[in-house]
Amino acid sequence: MPMQHFDLKSLNEMASRYRVQLINSLSGFKSANLIGTCNAQEQTNLAIFSSVFHLGASPALVGFIMRPDSVSRHTLENIKQTEQYTINQVSEDFWRKAHQTSAHYNSDESEFEQVGLTPEFIDGVTAPFVKESRIKYALNVKEITPIKLNNTLLVIGEITNVICESSVIKSDGYLDIEAANTVAISGLDSYHSSTRLSRISYAKPHKEALDIPLNGSIE
């Protein structure tokens, strides 16, 4: 099959929008999450992110990348004010509404209201969850680190609360995100459902990995 090769000169000479689409697609499937925040005046905000990633389990840390704050970033401003936020997985039930949160609404407009999603609160967490989300968690911000190479920010939070449907958590702690109909993103604007190939056991030298039953137990 014919292959196409872009060298550094070609990349630098590309039309800006074409290059953005190409480079954003290279990393493959990314998680689709809505980050919920509110400001000190309790104005809620909701924004879709495809840059959320696991950092560690003990302590339970999750990071995401915030684009340069050369313009107003309501999510970032709210996190700095309240030091709390929620991350809510996007499912097939509301991915179009989730995508619409990427529109540039005014700071006094709640994306929850604008796109038709429901804010949900629990004791001890000032930030709103997305009621429609089937896997979600709250975090306290621990560190905001500038990345000098492109002026983005790495936001790191510690998980304080996890909420998920009982049916998606297995006996070994595995969260079956496919059972929750969670969607993925590729590029900037392509949404995907998934099909599991298998879960397989921890890899050991000179021993074939075994399939793990969906209930999470393996003999």
**pLDDT, tens digit (0-9, with 9 covering 90-100), for 198-219:** 988 889 999 999 998 877 655 5
Tell me how far apart the alpha carbons of residues 125 and 54 are, in angstroms, rounded to a whole number: 21
SS3 50: coil
Is it the case that residue 71 has pLDDT exceeding 60?
Answer: no
Q: In angstroms, what CA-CA distances link 170 with 1, 61, 158, 186?
A: 42, 21, 23, 27
**Tokens, residue 172:** 């070994």
pLDDT for 105: 93
Residue type at 167 in one-letter notation: S
State the chain's mean pLDDT as an integer. 93
In the chain, which ranges are continuous DSSP H helix?
A: 8-13, 16-26, 74-82, 95-100, 111-115
Domains of the chain plus CATH, in order, are 30-192 (2.30.110.10)
pLDDT for 68: 76
Read off the pLDDT of residues 126-141 as tens digits, 9 standing for 90 and up.
999 999 999 999 999 9
DSSP secondary-structure letter at 8? H
pTM of the entire predicted model: 0.93
Tell me how far apart the alpha carbons of residues 88 and 37 are, in angstroms, rounded to a whole number: 11
Burial class (CB in 10 A: 0-12, 13-18, 19+), 12: exposed
